[in-house]
Structure 1
């Protein structure tokens, strides 16, 4: 009887222990659920609906009377999104091909666009107006038999907004520069474009963070705010007409950048963007958004790819925020069908398959890598070789050596040893650098660089960019967060030739931001103000 009682009591203890364990695990799981925020990805129609209303007003106004080339309807900043633009709308009795010219202030700064094709109904976007200026705009129509008619218009614009960044021209040789305007893309606030004189010729009133790039259909991929966070991805044209908008929310994320550093258009048309997953870690996941529906269709987390101790034991910058990886760039390698990514806090560049996440190679110093990652690490060649430190902005380059086994990449080497790298030269300079990678032999060597020769004045602890310019072979390099001895902050944007001894052909100094206010220039790109193909259609929003 005693044994039975003891057995019964033992059973009760065991059952109680199991019950306690189950309850504890359930409570622990609930706590984890509370810690992990909810992420939502969806199409957003708010801006599109607003613009539909604007277009109704434009159409109603246009229908009130007749407009022709001699007396067109001129609407400045039609979508209240791009103040240095206008829309000119009119009818003609015979089909005409339209060319629009915004006269520049100096020789070589006219901005001209011919809209190919002949029509009798015309809605002509005008880009490249100067701020705070009475702009001269010439609209010319040529008939199929070569007869030209034209109208000269005057379009007056408002001054730039208060607090707009100051752009100072240091050097300019248009005969050696890549064609196009220089688009200056901040970490936060207003993105804008300047000409060869450094004059502002375009900006958007939609605040921007990190991402402004031209898509295959000639629209812009553009990250902006909804509320107080950068969580809205726009597809819009140069007038600010929005075709698609995608909102990403993370319920427990308190920072200002939900789409935090980059986004690209994939070959399937979807959007791949850097984001957060709502856990205790940030800036270590990419999400793929369906272009048609706005829904989340895939995701890739670097905690599933990198060694566990990289994130579990990380104690570098922003460790208290869980920012162990700090992904800051995505590049799609069209030749391989893979993606390249840049990580500031792991000081690495990595090429990998997407969406599988299978590593092809890792460009990083050797410290701290476990044995099972050794085969992915590239072996450096050359005495003067240096691994990147805290890098940004990776891209693939053309095949310079006609060797299928090699590929050239370009990136911005901030040269700050975060988790690995050469401490002896860390923070002495920053540079744009071109590497050549042999993927068969798993080797890497330096081919070209610019920035080291400028020393600490060109050192950028954060942000920055490096681009290859395909027409000239020049390189456009942005050292976005430089600081003078007196504490003055500035971004330096410089275009140099691709020679062994690079020549500066264009340089800008951007000031007006302060340390920590996130308004520095994150990246700069050179591209034509007008896309090559642009079939603007009033009423195509949504």
Structure 2
């Protein structure tokens, strides 16, 4: 062979070898599983919104019958075991891993069926520490969880907890109505997390990806999280509402319908599949010609595309001039507008008359006269049930926008509503006499005061209400430590317009220790036939009952939320967990029971 031919042959061989080497290394920086792993590699926090989640990818494997166990961090910890639906594995593109510990080399086991064979593999993964955002007066990175008691049959519980506090980045935005700006200034870092019964945080939402104080659409408090029928999380946040999977996949984000603003407190899916949201109205013309933004007095119903289906304007349905409950409030705690300088001061008619328009308690449209904080949908008659803190009342209102009943003391209600007031009765059906301020002769019944949450218990034919207890009997007690909050269950007979109290917890058992002037929840849990209650702002004014001069090291302003769960009808808790504030005057908002198997279908 000639020399040129030899050179060409050598060049061809060299190119062939180079090409083979190039193809052999074409993966470049593509992630690969660790040696011996039978499936694919692991992705930490696959959607960026839930830092204590991961995904084991499939690498072409077809698997079914998946079960995951996230092992306890120590001898006192709680292992989590859950099944993953086959379609969910395909939807995620792998095995979803939920419930990892923060700042820990987690160990978890995945079991599955492949080609008819049962397989299993033990994995490990290091996770980052908790970062829910930070603020000036914070002394811990997250609320501090202390487990006081858990019965054996409740050890598998997981509780979602919603904490609220500002982070110094309050939205530099406001609605273009200087006379009545509404409630847009409510803004702060999202505080969503899930705890187990050992007190460990096993999930939290990334506040940096789900909230932005500088943008109109993503500012606002994240509040009112509820689990939907398809096992996802829905909540309201400022000028919109969001729906996300427990793995952190943002399923949808919607702005409020154009005529509405300032969503907070409640976003809940009804039995009809629509979402009910507590909002306010933009550029509302009052009867006397004022142009205002309203405050916490509109209920809107939207479908899953965000389209408005219906709305309830409480200014035309109820009486925004009723001041009986407003005059009984402690001016230091008007929901999350906490002003300790006014603590112990009972609101006066002069206060209401001088109140500016905007997010301040007062009578008339454009002020916070209603402060609705929960919505329940009753599919039996296509109605909604509302808890109104500033009317100290629970209402049922039909699709026709007519009031069906009112659970409230009678003082201040006009003739239009007198026949809608429920009449208290004993367990034997005997009438209970109560004066117009709601003080009742029979000690087995009390109205709810400045309530938070009013939810149906279809299994029992009852209604639960969290009775915060401020303004009880339309007044303030001589001593602050006489106050108490309670979870209460009522049985309402709509035909006879009567109400019976069937259960309560907190008055005698907790007393002032559990007094929660704002926020909180009680909700029936069908899976264990139990009641879960969250006394979310206990200790806000200090356990001594005095208000005094506040200092950073005072217990005053340091909240200890109390989460309890009872077997139905009992008053001895099966679970008690205390959650200490990590930031001065920050409060818990709500809690929910989380069922992972239902959320990973």
User: TM (normalized to structure 2)?
Assistant: 0.69
CA distance in 2, matches of 1:118, 1:386: 49
- From 113, 118, 124, give the equivalent of 2:82: 113
Q: Deviations over 1:234-282 (max 9, x none)?
A: 11111211121112388997xxxx2111011234433221111024331
With a CA cutoff of 8 Å and minimum separation of 6, indicate the structure with the bigger relative contact order: 1
Match of 2:177 in 1: none
Match of 1:347 in 2: 392
Are the aligned partners of 2:325 and 2:390 in contact in 1 as well (CA < 8 Å)? no
Match of 1:23 in 2: none
Say if 2:139 is the partner of 1:169: no
1:183 shift after superposition: 0.5
Match of 2:573 in 1: 503
Match of 1:16 in 2: none
Say if 2:501 is the partner of 1:443: no
Match of 1:299 in 2: 311
Say if 2:256 is the partner of 1:248: yes
- From 368, 392, 413, give the equivalent of 1:369: 413
Q: Secondary structure at the match of 1:211?
A: strand
Aligned pair in 2 of structure 1 residues 151, 501: CA closer, same or farther (>3 Å)? closer
CA distance in 2, matches of 1:346, 1:313: 5
Say if 2:141 is the partner of 1:74: no
- From 349, 362, 379, give the equivalent of 1:334: 379
Q: Mapping of 1:484-523 within 5 angstroms?
A: 484=542, 485=544, 486-487=555-556, 488-515=558-585, 519-523=586-590
Q: Mapping of 1:97-496 within 5 angstroms?
A: 97-105=65-73, 106=75, 109-117=78-86, 123-143=94-114, 145=116, 147-161=117-131, 163-177=140-154, 179-188=156-165, 189-205=190-206, 206=210, 209-224=222-237, 230-248=238-256, 258-278=262-282, 279=284, 280=292, 281-292=294-305, 294-307=306-319, 309-310=321-322, 319=352, 320=355, 321=360, 322-354=367-399, 356-382=400-426, 383-384=442-443, 385-400=445-460, 407-417=461-471, 420=474, 428-453=483-508, 454-483=510-539, 484=542, 485=544, 486-487=555-556, 488-496=558-566
1:200 shift after superposition: 0.3
1:231 shift after superposition: 2.3
Are the aligned partners of 1:172 and 1:197 in contact in 2 as well (CA < 8 Å)? no
1:186 shift after superposition: 2.4
Match of 1:538 in 2: none
1:305 shift after superposition: 1.0
Aligned pair in 2 of structure 1 residues 66, 461: CA closer, same or farther (>3 Å)? closer
User: TM (normalized to structure 1)?
Assistant: 0.76
CA distance in 2, matches of 1:139, 1:376: 57
Q: Secondary structure at the match of 2:537?
A: strand
Query: Where in structure 2 are there 5+ consecutive unaligned residues?
Result: 1-25, 135-139, 166-189, 212-220, 285-291, 335-351, 361-366, 427-441, 545-554
Report the structure, 1 or 2, having the larger strand content: 1
Q: Secondary structure at the match of 2:229?
A: coil
Q: Secondary structure at the match of 2:102?
A: coil
Aligned pair in 2 of structure 1 residues 462, 61: CA closer, same or farther (>3 Å)? farther
1:398 shift after superposition: 3.6
Relative to structure 2, which stretch is displaced further, 307-316 or 411-420?
307-316
Q: Deviations over 1:42-80 (max 9, x none)?
A: xxxxxxxxxxxxxxxxxx999958879525211100111
Relative to structure 2, which stretch is displaced further, 104-113 or 84-93?
104-113
Are the aligned partners of 2:55 and 2:95 in contact in 1 as well (CA < 8 Å)? yes
Relative to structure 2, which stretch is displaced further, 153-162 or 243-252?
243-252
Q: Deviations over 1:345-383 (max 9, x none)?
A: 0000111213x2222211001111112211110111241
Say if 2:591 is the partner of 1:524: yes
Aligned pair in 2 of structure 1 residues 352, 139: CA closer, same or farther (>3 Å)? same
CA distance in 2, matches of 1:496, 1:277: 39
Match of 2:137 in 1: none
Aligned pair in 2 of structure 1 residues 262, 528: CA closer, same or farther (>3 Å)? same
Are the aligned partners of 2:394 and 2:454 in contact in 1 as well (CA < 8 Å)? yes
1:232 shift after superposition: 3.0
Aligned pair in 2 of structure 1 residues 102, 462: CA closer, same or farther (>3 Å)? same
CA distance in 2, matches of 1:126, 1:432: 35
Relative to structure 2, which stretch is displaced further, 61-70 or 230-239?
61-70
Query: Where in structure 1 are there 5+ consecutive unaligned residues?
Result: 1-59, 225-229, 401-406, 535-542
